[in-house]
Structure 1
Amino acid sequence: MNVKHSALTPLGVMVLALLREGDMHPYEMVRLLRARRDDRIVPITNGTLYHTVSRLHGRGLIDEVGVDRDGNRPERTTYTLTPAGHAAVGDWVRRELGVTGRTTFPVALAEAHNLERYEALELLRTRRTLLDQELASLSQALDGAAARDVPDQYLLEVSRHRILLQAEIAWLDDLIPRMASPDFAWGPDPEHLPAQRKARQND
């Protein structure tokens, strides 16, 4: 199946990434995403998640593996990740992690552990270089505006942008060497993830 990974929504990527940890039903997905506070970076409602799951299933990125019924509760369909879905996560994160100017970076960063450590580091270094170039260009523009006595009221957003760029560059300068260390835990551990999921649900 020819799947356009670029059409994936951030929530779709997060659902696929959850299923890389193990099979689960949408109710469990919602609980996990909220327990991990992923609703800070992507709006999550039961309706949007179930719609996302339906779309992913229709595109062959996930597949049904069973239906459970617990007492009088509605039936819950359990889903698994297909090979195409597995590849889609890495492709999406790979495309979004190393670039600037997009609103999807927080999701790409949250799912960066789905890439090999060396690849995630390379992409973050690329982003660091682009941010530095953007900061230099922005600073030059601000200096030019000051030389022309442009009133500060017209430069508020640009000044804010420069501060945010400086802060993220400093954060990356701290993160990258820490992340490069073998002491920095990285990547999924399939043997322990199911237990971790249950522990988070009980928090």
Structure 2
Amino acid sequence: MARRPDLVGLTVLAMLSVRASHPYELHRFIVDTHKDYVTGLPRSLYHAVEKLAGDELIVAVETTKEGRRPERTVYEITDEGRKELSTRLRSLLQSAGGDRRAFTAAVSLIGCLPVPEALNALRARAASVRGQITAMDGHVAAVRDSGLPELLMIEVDYERTLSQAELSWMDDLIARLEKGELSWEGTLTRELMEKTLE
């Protein structure tokens, strides 16, 4: 069984790539910006921070205590963490099939990649989805030609419809990026995080 991508860890890396924060701030930002693909909060968030720190992808830079509140440790991303963020994002963007939630997460954080890298990953995914659609069409045609009822392949038609919708959306996104119609500014910035946390 394939291992599911660590979407919580990915989100933490993305957020720390623009601003050092403590886990409570990260939690608030995830909730306030409806990163609904992140599940199991707050436990999953603290576990992800612990694992990322253990892997030296993030480091603790400060610990503060205010009044009766518990200590808060502020983390920042390391150079290795930035590389890992780019690698994970590119992989999730270009890998077609499987968990659509992972693709939603990658699209949500796409602004962490330079536009050319994001475009290359999206083009690779679009080519893969086109291939999957062609294969599904061939499979359905073979069943139809064999004389078996098409109802036996209704789930393939469903998957094909979802894949076609995803492909249309990606083609539109790629075209908008190529034309410069979609601004990369303001997707995930220090100012946006600070504004959300006010």
Instruction: Identify which of 141, 163, 166 aligns with 2:164.
Output: 166
Q: Whole-Å Cα distance in 1 between the matches of residues 82 and 167 of structure 2?
A: 31
Quote the offset at 1:95 in angstroms.
2.1
Q: Whole-Å Cα distance in 1 between the matches of residues 59 and 124 of structure 2?
A: 35
Using the aligned pairs only, state the percent identity: 29
> How many residue pairs get matched?
194
After TM superposition, list the pairs within 5 Å mapping 1:144-159 onto structure 2: 144-159=142-157
Any unmatched runs of 5+ in structure 2?
none
Q: Whole-Å Cα distance in 2 between the matches of residues 88 and 196 of structure 1?
A: 23
TM-score scaled to structure 1, two decimals? Answer: 0.87
SS in 1 for 2:38: coil
Instruction: Identify which of 43, 52, 71 aligns with 2:67.
Output: 71
Residue 37 of structure 1 is matched in structure 2 by: 34
Q: Whole-Å Cα distance in 2 between the matches of residues 120 and 196 of structure 1?
A: 21
TM-score scaled to structure 2, two decimals? Answer: 0.89
What amino acid does structure 1 have at the position aligned with 2:117?
E
- Given that 1:67 and 1:78 are in contact with CA atoms closer than 8 Å, whether structure 2 keeps it comes out as yes
Q: More deviation in 94-103 or 116-125?
A: 94-103
Instruction: Identify which of 122, 125, 130 aligns with 2:123.
Output: 125
Q: CA RMSD in A?
A: 2.1
Residue 53 of structure 1 is matched in structure 2 by: 49
Any unmatched runs of 5+ in structure 1?
1-5
- Given that 2:95 and 2:125 are in contact with CA atoms closer than 8 Å, whether structure 1 keeps it comes out as yes
Quote the offset at 1:22 in angstroms.
0.6
Residue 25 of structure 1 is matched in structure 2 by: 22
SS in 1 for 2:17: helix
Change (3 A) 1:188 1:61: farther
Q: Whole-Å Cα distance in 2 between the matches of residues 146 and 86 of structure 1?
A: 50
- Given that 2:186 and 2:192 are in contact with CA atoms closer than 8 Å, whether structure 1 keeps it comes out as no
1:94 aligns with 2:90: yes
